[in-house]
Structure 1
């Protein structure tokens, strides 16, 4: 049941990414180009996502446990530190340069979109470098 729900959730998420244009790097760059030919489409996508997430948090607060798990696994901290700010900055820079972020890039692999393959390979390499550096730090 858990695997089926994960597959269903991923399929719905991927469909939403494709339908909304989030898998189209030129649309994403158009949204981020505030001083050029700005494309506000993704602002509506993000606003819709925020409404859905607000509803999800509302429902989650009233549930004792998730459907396919014994307990909820929620973030344990709300600290805004250097690591969070640095990660957010790197994410934003990568999103602006490539026009892709991890979810749409992985979904784009199914369309044989070569830039997505390059992006995902670079993302995995960056994650490996972070894991090595983080292990040395700890």
Structure 2
């Protein structure tokens, strides 16, 4: 059941990306070009997403548990640290340079948008590099031998 729910929601999300123009890197780059060919239409898409999410969270959290899971899984750590500041900054720079973020980039693959096939491998490389860096930095250097 969970797979079917996730599949339907993923398809709905992908259709929303295509309909809203978020899978078109030129439209995204025009939105980010405040002093050139600025296109404010994506602000309405983002505003609609924020309002929908705000209402959706209020409705969902009234339930004792999610529809397709045993319990809600919420983050326990809410501290603002270097990782929470640097990660979004890198994401924003990549979004501004390429006009893609992960969801729209995957959607644009099926549409054959220009630059998608160059962007996706670099996106996956960046995701792997970020995970490798975090694992390497936060893994213990010295470990105790196992107890006999």
TM-score (norm 2): 0.88
Larger radius of gyration: 2
CA drift of 1:80 comes to 1.6
Structure having the higher helix fraction is 1
The residue correspondences of 1:1-138 to structure 2 (distance < 5 A) are 1-113=1-113, 115-138=115-138
CA drift of 1:102 comes to 0.5
Runs of 4+ in 1 over 6 A off after TM superposition: none
Task: Please give the alpha-carbon distance, in whole angstroms, between the structure 2 residues aligned to 1:123 and 1:59.
Answer: 34
TM-score (norm 1): 0.94
The number of aligned residues is 138
- For 1:23, what is the secondary structure of its paired residue? coil
112-121 or 75-84, larger mean C-alpha shift = 112-121
User: Structure 2: which 5+ residue stretches go unaligned?
Assistant: 139-148
Q: CA RMSD in A?
A: 1.2
Task: Please give the alpha-carbon distance, in whole angstroms, between the structure 2 residues aligned to 1:80 and 1:116.
Answer: 32
Task: Please give the alpha-carbon distance, in whole angstroms, between the structure 2 residues aligned to 1:116 and 1:64.
Answer: 41
User: Structure 1: which 5+ residue stretches go unaligned?
Assistant: none
